[in-house]
Structure 1
């Protein structure tokens, strides 16, 4: 489930003092905090476990109804497991602005997110004195632009 401040985009671009994505931008000087974290996994669907027990009990009286309830329950557990498997692969770049709003960028490669985070850290710590011009391609997990800016980031 995506919130209004959660953004899935193919790229982020830093040009001088601007962080840009999909026709949106934020001044780097307006960033109060940047963090990289994993997405929280969904809780096990307790209803499915209860329904399996209920389905077993009902199947003793009405076999077809019991099997149907068990089938729906197993589907619910399978869907939960598949979604959590996908969420385990994702991470979020969280950017809190001076005004208090937080923007979340979805990443599908943890190692690449760490490189992006390290690069942002270097730019912000440097006060962007090197006039950054970088594109983070989230879709392909690549960075292009000023090599001097991310020379301190471990790029792999």
Structure 2
């Protein structure tokens, strides 16, 4: 798939092996995994951080290779069931964070035209994502501005 804001093509990544059930060495209880996911979310971790922590540390000493294989639910679905889902989706949050950092950089370096273009591209992605999430994950009347983004973070 081509990239959004350049003329180059994207690079291909390796895929995880297709599996219908967890590996033999990972015999973790689904309820224990769900409890650990909720616990990590309450500590303030994002869904992707939760997946990395479960992969590295595991539950009860056993690593969890893929939460969806063990529980038949994604991390965000588990968080949604337990009402611990973040206020804004993680991808939108990361873009808002990047926009705030780029705005701070542009305030200090007003002639950095390359980062000015990066800021324009990031804000365009934010607006597209907001249209996608509007009404479902974020309010209908929510609009992007650098000041609002700074307050949300």
- TM-score normalized with structure 2 length: 0.25
Richer in strand (by share): 1
Higher relative contact order (CA 8 A, sep 6+): 1
Richer in helix (by share): 2
- Structure with greater Cα Rg: 1
